[in-house]
């Protein structure tokens, strides 16, 4: 995945059954996002290509053996080499041994044309840094050390650069320390998940973020609040920003001059602060100028070298630009490309339709796909050579300078696929001559070890290589500290770049801002049912794309919720259902990228002939089809905003939403407390006051002689990312029910992320709360079960005895938290998805009620290990799947009977409360109130 997180894989009986973050890896520190948790469904996807395929004269694919496929391709390569005709290879973001091998292989066949293609290549950040500081790269952003963060459209909690790493740092920045906590302001046209976690969302028109930054710089210099830069440079910068007066900026960004000045002062007072720009959804015609402006804001406030450090640098800086892809398409149309190889990329889907990649592909004599799935681009290939997924492969990775990750296969290949590295070596040897001599390695594994011998000589030559190799395999790599580079500002490059920042003309239509989906990213996650079923954190919609439109714009255009709209730009048109939301500013509409596939398997494209049990209608349109092929003039990046017109088709499109009320109606479900209040409580007596109530009980209290398992959930750390939801699906064999059943309210997730709005309807504050079985000590579900299927055990768990359950659903009716799920059907696990099932957990069938068990299988395993070692269970030794994956460490699990445990400490803290506590259910889950600065 694009975040480049380290991963551990649990295997049982020779098959991978669960993935977790690698606790030693510096990027994610043992945590994973929802997309990372769903990687098992890439391995076991029923729509994977299972063997080589060759397209015959009728246009249909026929299966081949690997020997036949490689022989056919070797003959074509020989012909190309004799004619001195060029080969091009498209890969995704790739580093390490395989990346180097592809370059070597191309050179051996007389080509150097290689593109590392990602739809979102952060071009504006790289070009801005090149012009200002002489480094064409992506720096390290230190969120954790910042006192105040201002994001100009960078959704760092969702899809920007490395979301898991930034989520961890953001939670640390927001943690309460010594009466203070960091503050966060988001500036942009859409209330994204990142914006929903901000103290304030400043809704500005798309493309005006850079002017906001320059206006803030002007105020900071005028009031003498700058620091860390020479006075001579400040005088020159002052001349550059003088024209961006609060009045001019307020006219463009539609904020008051007083508001702009207040924002500038707040940011300048932070020591250090951090301003972020270059967000994917902010890629418009002024993207590079915006990053330059924000870089300059960091410079005049002394943040360059402190919270913005040029080292370690990200490997994302090596990606090819959108302009290079446009040039490739031109070369294809001109007949200059004789062979195009691609692996795990899908440019027909992820490039603007107006770029004409699909048409240009028809001009290439030889098209070869080395991909795992029959997506839109692979379907156009003449030859398909399916490769191993990462969980079946040897490999390495260098996401940041100094981080050398090492990857080994978790299991034997599921299908008749082949390692891409071994395939390249085999083709070179079949070719013979100088090509065969250039690749003496017997296998990619041997090549990988040879490359790591070089790393060994560079890093730890005093250690024997086999020891070094073994330790690196066990740890998942070798991780070095890299010191930042010092940089100096090139003021001469600024005037021409900043000249483009000006008041934009009001478009005739609405401005569409497309953004990568937190679930599907650029569409590559759309074939994984866990991600399709996962509700979007803000809209709570599943299985579809949609168009967010402000209610006032909807009223003006006579659009209501669920109307199917024709969305048209100058470059294409698609259909999207309308979702009315105050989370987008007036005059702007937004659409998540990821849906709209026409060939990517049964879960991404319901019209696939193999589709069963899901909606028969294709899921909305692909927003890429609306975008301009023309790159941004400065950086060559993809433009993700475009002017569109909307036409109501008069049809309704049923959206599958799991959302209930967005208001709490004074029930105190997701609670918050002002920072001043919590600070006074801590300074007073070290703990918050708790009202003691004496409640007469109908039944005697339960005794828990050894353990009382419980959980604490910190709402100040929870960002609503939903990684815990997918982790629970993976660990506990939770079935996917599909859109049709979700519309009927039959979702099966054991943990859900509830979203509540507080404050005015047009600009509410958002609160997220994970909701799961509360394992009540006085559980309402237990006394109403006629067959004693729901039981309170001696360790405080509300357990479900599946073979007793007869499906009366009395327990669900009596549960005030609505966390029980009923199996209306025995849901299918299409082969080989059944291989992902955890053998430690029962697979439930129709007529059975189920719910969270605190991962009782992990509790049992933890107790058994402690017993075998003759010791008590240690605090933190047993971790449920939701707590293990949470990027912000918002969930803590442990023994409430152990007064020294972290969960006991948190459960007695000043922010503690229990949901619906007045019902006397006595939950085992304690929530910690969100802190409002």
Domain ranges, ordered by start, for the chain: 53-119+319-479, 123-317, 506-657, 672-686+708-932
pLDDT value at 651 more than 60: yes
Q: Which pTM value belongs to this model?
A: 0.93
Instruction: Name the β-bridge partners of 649.
Output: none
The predicted pLDDT at position 614 comes to 41
Summarize the confidence of residues 361-383 as an average pLDDT.
Answer: 94
pLDDT at 438: 76
**pLDDT more than 70, % of the chain:** 95
The span from the CA of 613 to the CA of 735, in Å, is: 13
pLDDT grade, residue 484 (50/70/90)? very high
Question: Which pLDDT band, with edges at 50, 70 and 90, does 57 fall under?
Answer: confident
Supply the pLDDT for residue 282. 65
Helices of type H across 229-305: 231-241, 246-253, 257-269, 287-300
Spell 155-167 as b/e; 16+ CB within 10 A means b.
bbbbbbbbbbbbb
Instruction: Please check the confidence at residue 688 and state whether its pLDDT lies above 50.
Output: no
pLDDT of the residue at 434: 67
Q: What would the pLDDT profile of 590-599 be if each residue is shown by its tens digit?
A: 999 999 999 9
Summarize pLDDT for 24-34 with one digit per residue, the tens.
999 999 999 99
Q: What is the arithmetic mean of pLDDT over 247-263?
A: 91
Tell me if residue 513 falls in helix, strand or coil: strand
Poorest-pLDDT segment among 366-370, 494-498, 901-905: 494-498
| Phi, psi of 666, deg, nearest 5 | 60, 25
d(CA 796, CA 711) in angstroms, rounded, equals: 12
Q: What is the pLDDT of residue 84?
A: 61
146 — alpha (psi -120 to 50), left (phi > 0) or beta? Answer: beta
- Contact of 854 with 880, CB cutoff 8 Å: yes
Say how many Å lie between the first and final Cα of the chain, rounded. Answer: 34
pLDDT band, residue 228 (cuts 50/70/90): confident
Domain 506-657 belongs to what topology?
A: Barwin-like endoglucanases (2.40.40)
Widest pairwise Cα distance in the chain: 92
CA proximity to 257, closest of 266, 265, 247, 267:
247
Backbone angles phi, psi at 224, to 5 degrees: 70, 30
Task: Kindly indicate the confidence band of residue 607, based on its pLDDT and cuts at 50, 70 and 90.
Answer: low
For residue range 848-877, list pLDDT tens digits in order: 999 999 999 999 999 999 999 999 999 999
State yes or no: pLDDT of 520 exceeds 60. Answer: yes
Residue 223 is predicted with a pLDDT of: 93
* Between 11 and 681, the higher pLDDT residue: 11
Q: What is the model's pLDDT at position 504?
A: 65
Among 291, 257, 294, residue whose Cα is nearest residue 273: 294
pLDDT, residue 505, reads 65
Q: Is the pLDDT of residue 634 over 70?
A: yes
Which residues are 511's β-sheet partners?
Answer: 588, 643
Q: Is the pLDDT of residue 507 over 80?
A: no
Distance CA 626, CA 721 (A): 28
So what's the architecture of 672-686+708-932 in CATH? 2-Layer Sandwich (3.30)
Angle (CA) 200 206 207, round 5°: 110
Running DSSP on this structure, what letter comes out for residue 483? P
Indicate the average pLDDT of the chain.
91
Q: Which of 89-103, 567-581, 681-695 has the lowest mean pLDDT?
A: 681-695
Q: Which two tokens stand for residue 121?
A: 């290549």
| pLDDT the model gives residue 441 | 85
Closest CA to 854 of 903, 786, 910, 921: 903
What is the pLDDT averaged over residues 37-57?
94
Statement: residue 760 has pLDDT above 90 = no
Q: What is the pLDDT of residue 734?
A: 96
Between 45-54, 689-698, 813-822, the lowest mean confidence (pLDDT) is in 689-698
Looking at residue 108, what is its pLDDT? 85
By three-state DSSP, how is residue 733 classified?
A: coil
Is residue 754 scored above 70 in pLDDT? Answer: yes
CA atoms of 690 and 702, how far apart (whole Å): 23
Q: Is the pLDDT of residue 683 over 50?
A: no
Report residue 685's pLDDT band, with 50, 70 and 90 as the boundaries: very low
223-250: average pLDDT: 91
| CATH number of the structural domain 53-119+319-479 | 3.40.50.740
Q: What pLDDT score does 608 carry?
A: 45
Q: What angle do CA 58, 59, 64 make, to 5 degrees?
A: 100
pLDDT at site 503: 67
Q: What is the mean pLDDT of residues 760-775?
A: 90
Mean pLDDT, range 677-695, rounded to an integer: 56
Assess whether pLDDT exceeds 80 at residue 698: no
Give the CATH fold of the 123-317 domain.
Dimethylsulfoxide Reductase; domain 2 (3.40.228)
| DSSP bridge pairs for 766 | 757
| Mode of pairing for the β-strands spanning 588-593 and 395-397 | unpaired
């Amino acid at each position: 995945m694009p975040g480049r997180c380290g991963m551990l894989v649990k295997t049982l009986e020779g098959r991978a059954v669960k993935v977790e973050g690698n606790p030693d890896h510096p990027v994610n520190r043992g945590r994973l996002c929802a997309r990372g948790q769903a990687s098992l469904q890439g391995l076991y996807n029923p729509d994977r290509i299972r063997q080589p395929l060759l397209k015959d004269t009728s246009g249909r694919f026929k299966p081949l053996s690997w020997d036949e496929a490689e022989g056919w391709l070797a003959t074509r390569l020989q012909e190309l080499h004799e004619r001195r005709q060029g080969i091009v290879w498209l890969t995704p973001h790739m580093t390490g041994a395989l990346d180097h091998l592809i370059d070597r292989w191309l050179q051996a066949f007389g080509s150097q044309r290689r593109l590392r293609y990602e739809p979102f290549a952060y071009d504006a950040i790289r070009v801005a840094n090149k012009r200002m500081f002489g480094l064409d790269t992506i720096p390290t952003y230190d969120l954790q050390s910042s006192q105040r963060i201002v994001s100009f459209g960078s959704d760092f909690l969702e899809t920007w650069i490395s979301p898991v790493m930034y989520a961890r740092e953001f939670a640390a920045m927001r943690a309460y320390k010594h009466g203070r906590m960091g503050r966060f302001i988001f500036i942009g046209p859409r209330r994204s998940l990142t914006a929903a976690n901000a103290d304030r969302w400043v809704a500005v028109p798309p493309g005006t973020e850079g002017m906001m930054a320059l206006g803030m710089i002007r105020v900071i210099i005028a009031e003498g609040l700058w620091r860390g830069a020479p006075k001579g440079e400040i005088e020159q910068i002052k001349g550059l920003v003088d024209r961006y007066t609060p009045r001019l900026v307020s006219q463009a960004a539609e904020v008051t001059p007083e508001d702009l000045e207040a924002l500038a002062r707040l940011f300048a007072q932070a020591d250090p602060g951090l301003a972020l720009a270059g967000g994917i959804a902010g890629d418009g015609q002024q993207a590079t100028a915006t990053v330059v402006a924000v870089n300059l804001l960091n410079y005049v406030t002394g943040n360059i070298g402190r919270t913005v450090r040029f080292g370690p640098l990200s490997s994302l800086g090596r990606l090819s630009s959108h302009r290079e892809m446009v040039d490739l398409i031109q070369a294809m149309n001109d007949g200059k490309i004789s062979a195009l190889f691609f692996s795990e990329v899908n440019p027909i889907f992820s490039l603007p339709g107006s770029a004409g990649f699909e048409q240009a592909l028809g001009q290439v004599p030889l098209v070869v796909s080395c991909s795992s799935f029959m997506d839109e681009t692979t379907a156009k290939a003449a030859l398909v050579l399916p490769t191993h997924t990462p969980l079946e492969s040897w490999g390495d990775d260098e996401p940041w300078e100094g981080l050398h990750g090492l990857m080994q296969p978790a299991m034997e290949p599921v299908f008749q696929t082949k390692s891409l590295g071994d395939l390249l070596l085999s083709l070179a040897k079949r070719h013979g001559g100088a090509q065969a001599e250039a690749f003496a390695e017997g296998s990619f594994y041997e090549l990988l070890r040879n490359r790591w011998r070089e790393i060994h000589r560079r890093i730890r030559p005093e250690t024997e290589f086999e020891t070094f190799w073994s330790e690196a395999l066990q740890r998942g790599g070798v991780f070095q500290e890299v010191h930042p580079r010092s940089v100096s500002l090139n003021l001469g490059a600024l005037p021409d770049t900043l000249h483009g920042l000006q008041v934009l003309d009001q478009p005739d239509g609405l401005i569409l801002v497309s953004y990568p989906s937190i679930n599907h990213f650029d569409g590559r996650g759309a074939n994984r049912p866990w991600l399709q079923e996962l509700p979007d954190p803000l809209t709570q919609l599943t299985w579809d794309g949609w168009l967010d439109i402000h209610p006032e714009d909807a009223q003006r255009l006579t659009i209501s919720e669920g109307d199917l709209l024709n969305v048209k730009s100058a470059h294409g048109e698609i259909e999207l259902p309308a979702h009315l939301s105050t989370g987008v500013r007036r005059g702007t509409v937004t659409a998540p990228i990821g849906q709209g596939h026409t060939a990517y398997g049964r879960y991404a494209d319901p019209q696939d002939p193999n589709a069963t049990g899901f909606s028969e209608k294709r899921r909305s349109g692909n927003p890429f089809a609306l975008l301009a092929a023309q790159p941004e003039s400065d950086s060559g990046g993809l433009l993700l905003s475009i002017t569109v017109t909307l036409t109501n088709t008069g049809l309704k499109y049923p959206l599958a939403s799991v959302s209930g009320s967005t208001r709490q109606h004074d029930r105190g479900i997701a609670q918050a407390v002002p920072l001043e209040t919590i600070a006074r409580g801590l300074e007073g007596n070290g703990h918050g006051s708790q009202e003691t109530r004496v409640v007469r009980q109908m039944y005697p209290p339960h005794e828990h002689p050894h353990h009382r398992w419980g959980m604490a959930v910190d709402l100040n750390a929870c960002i609503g990312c939903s990684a815990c939801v997918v982790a629970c699906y993976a660990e506990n064999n939770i079935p996917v029910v599909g859109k049709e059943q979700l519309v009927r309210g039959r979702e099966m997730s054991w943990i859900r992320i509830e979203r509540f709005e507080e404050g005015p309807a047009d600009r509410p504050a958002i609160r997220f709360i994970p909701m799961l079985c509360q394992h009540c000590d006085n559980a309402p579900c237990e006394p109403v079960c006629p067959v004693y299927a729901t039981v309170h055990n001696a360790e405080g768990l509300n357990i479900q005895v599946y073979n007793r359950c007869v499906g009366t659903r009395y327990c669900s009716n009596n549960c005030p938290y609505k966390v029980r799920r009923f199996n209306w059907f025995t849901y299918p696990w299409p082969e080989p998805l059944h291989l992902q099932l955890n053998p430690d957990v029962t697979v439930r069938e129709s007529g059975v009620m189920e719910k969270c068990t605190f991962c009782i299988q992990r509790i049992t395993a933890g107790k058994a290990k402690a017993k075998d070692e003759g010791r008590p269970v240690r605090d933190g030794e047993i971790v449920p799947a939701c707590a293990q994956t949470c990027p912000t460490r918002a969930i803590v699990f442990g023994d409430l009977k152990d007064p020294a445990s972290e969960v006991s400490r948190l459960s007695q803290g000043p922010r503690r409360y229990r949901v619906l506590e007045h019902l006397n259910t006595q939950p085992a889950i304690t929530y910690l109130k969100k802190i409002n600065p």
